[in-house]
A and B are shown apart, each in its own frame.
Chain A
Amino acid sequence: SQTIHQWPATLVQPVGSPLSLECTVEGTSNPNLYWYRQAAGRGLQLLFYSVGIGQISSEVPQNLSASRPQDRQFILSSKKLLLSDSGFYLCAWSVIIQETQYFGPGTRLLVL
């Protein structure tokens, strides 16, 4: 069966520090991968998605970047965190774009 892992679960970082969040998927090949951010009490905002290794589409211009160095690994990064980067970050995967997505447990990021 397929599983998706995200780490860390929580992270407290100072403003201006770098960020690296990792997501890995097991049990499937060539998944579509997604990074979302969720503000408190709100819906999800798509940040990046990837249909293959090295292929990244950015949905929202921002302080973040994403990379897919391996088929089932998706990394969210920042060189310098801003206060506004605080939020709940979710990684997800799907077999087919526009179909069901499967979510990881999320990373809660607090930038102070």
Chain B
Amino acid sequence: SQQGEEDPQALSIQEGENATMNCSYKTSINNLQWYRQNSGRGLVHLILIRSNEREKHSGRLRVTLDTSKKSSSLLITASRAADTASYFCATVSGYSNYQLIWGAGTKLIIKP
């Protein structure tokens, strides 16, 4: 079964609004990574957060990690049409032989 499960599966918001996506996982992890995929393209790494970190920022992106709840969230502030994409979380742990285990993704649509 998948380690990371994103929620919601799809999200549609107006340009300028904030978008929040969540990722839940089942086992303890070494790190959790967020990636973006534009339609039909390869994935682009956004942020890596380690198990001893609680929050990381990169530009308009903010990622939080709550290891007690086994969950992470990705916040995109002041969304733009170019943020339209699918967003995936991937977890790494010894249980997965340190390979990335991927969720099914959240499809984000930003309406102009």
* Interface assignment of B42: CB less than 8 Å from any CB of chain A: yes
Binds A, one of B11-19, B59-67, B77-85, B101-109: B101-109
* Interface assignment of B69: CB less than 8 Å from any CB of chain A: no
Which chain B residues lie closer than 8 Å to A27 at the CB level? none
Contact with A along B70-112 (1 / 0, CB 8 A): 0000000000000000001010100000111011110100000
Contact with B along A67-103 (1 / 0, CB 8 A): 0000000000000000000001010100001111111
Shortest Cβ distance from residue A61 to the other chain B in the assembled complex, whole angstroms: 16
Which chain A residues lie closer than 8 Å to B4 at the CB level? 43
Number of interface residues of A (CB under 8 A): 22
B45 in contact with A101 (CB, 8 Å)? yes
B99 in contact with A99 (CB, 8 Å)? no
Number of interface residues of B (CB under 8 A): 23
Question: A106 contacts which of B30, B41, B92 (Cβ < 8 Å)?
Answer: B41
Which residues of B are in contact with A by a Cβ distance under 8 Å?
A: 2, 4, 30-31, 33, 40-45, 48, 88, 90, 92, 98-100, 102-105, 107
**For the complex, would chain A's binding face be called helix, strand, loop or mixed by DSSP majority?**
loop
Shortest Cβ distance from residue A74 to the other chain B in the assembled complex, whole angstroms: 14
**Contacts A43-B103, A49-B99; is A102 near B45 (CB within 8 Å)?**
yes
10 tightest A-B CB contacts, nearest first? A103-B42, A43-B102, A98-B98, A98-B92, A44-B102, A103-B43, A43-B104, A100-B45, A105-B42, A97-B98
Which residues of A are in contact with B by a Cβ distance under 8 Å?
A: 41-46, 49, 59, 88, 90, 92, 97-106, 108
Given contacts A43-B4, A98-B30, 11 further A-B contacts (CB under 8 A): A44-B100, A45-B102, A46-B100, A92-B43, A98-B99, A100-B45, A102-B45, A103-B43, A103-B44, A105-B41, A106-B40
A46 in contact with B99 (CB, 8 Å)? yes
Distance between Cα atoms of A101 and B42 in the complex (Å): 11
Shortest Cβ distance from residue A52 to the other chain B in the assembled complex, whole angstroms: 16
